Structure 1
Amino acid sequence: MIDVHSWPTPNGHKVHIMLEECGLPYRVHPVDIGAGDQFKPAFLAISPNNKIPAIVDSDGPDGQPISVFESGAILLYLAGKTGQFLPPDTRGKFEVLQWLMFQMGGVGPMLGQAHHFRIYAPEPIEYAVHRYTNEARRLYGVMDRQIERTGAYIAGADYSIADIAIFPWLRSWQNQGIAWADYPALKAWFDRIAARPAVQRGVQVLADRRKATRSAAEMEVLFGATQYQRH
């Protein structure tokens, strides 16, 4: 059994989708990041960077429990555990891994900043809005051209953890200043992924916990001094 400590964010949904795609049994433990659950000692013991998601697999590689934090590392762990969504051959594996790193180092951080400055910043900062909106559009362009090249999925002909990692971040395309008409190949890819039953189940995990707006207290926990205290 896998215990997943998570919240309905793009990084959380990556792991929810992967677990559904792999057909692994799992239990979900909500970590309310607006309430500060990510700073509780029990969670920090498995995720020292105080970020969701994190998992604990009671049946680890040596038969003993193992905990894994960082969503990309979790996808790799689950792919290794099940032999799914990561090619076994070296060339295919690194084709997928480079696009997984593209998501971890580019898509997630840059689209996250676009969300922050377009939606959550307490005062509008024109330079930051333009900077991250333009970077979001650049990244969408990179992915659109890649799908045009492969004709199928982000790393080639087969669905992989690279697709699973990227998809949840693109669900908030409107918040990123994106017009789908500018990226037709990527939009077709997005629709193919969204139609997968396991993806549909995965994005519903903890979906009832999402909030349209955040209180001042939640904003302080997420973006204020609480983030920088020693926990």
Structure 2
Amino acid sequence: MTGSMAMVVAATLAGAPAAAQQGAAQTVEPLVPASGAVLEVSAEGRTTRVPDLATIRAGVVSQAATAAAALSDNAQRMARVLTALKRAGVADRDIATATVNLAPQYRYADNQPPAITGYQATNSVTIRFRDVARSGAILDALVAQGANQIDGPTLSIDKPDAALDEARTDAVKRARAKADIYAAAAGLRVVRVVSISEAGQDAGGGDPVRPMMMMRVRAEAAPTQIAPGEKDVTVTLSVRFLLQ
């Protein structure tokens, strides 16, 4: 290189921004390596937790000859239900109105238009019980105070983040074990992880108990019992490995 060209190159570099010089010096490894084989496997990791949250929908259904009477009776019954919930220690934040409905009831006869025979009012609330062991006793108290419609419970985990992290760790281990098996079968070895993506998760929400129940309480009725059991917390990962 001549002296004049060296000066031009030096001047150009000196005039270039520092960030540009740093960017030129950095190298970005491609997602798909130029050499070796890329293996993609999926794995589900899991752990278990005892549910600590029960969610139940409790409602009151009232029927009367007039809309006003149906609503009035329904409001009184629901007021007793809400009082029973608060007396049992359920916090306001754990009680939410789910549905309020008023509908006419009809009588149908051949060759005659439908005739209104009365009205049905429905009011239901969604309730979260943070003490699952007490939820059965609370349900019995609700029914005793006028609740005649129960849906649930759905048992879940209130704060599943730590359990999900355990499941993620388990999923990575399972994915690596799979990759080792495939690599050995192909006469290769696992060099490193190329990418990891989370395909799905289940935080142990579970399914509600079905069907909806219309409940009537007698003095000699056995108390309702709720058994929490255990819930699986799962995470599914898709992991790409470089094999050589």
Q: Same fold (TM over 0.5)?
A: no
Q: Which has the larger radius of gyration?
A: 2
Q: Which has the higher contact order (CA 8 A, sep 6+)?
A: 2
Q: TM-score, normalised by structure 2?
A: 0.22
Greater percentage in helix:
1
TM-score of the aligned structures, taking structure 1 as reference length: 0.23
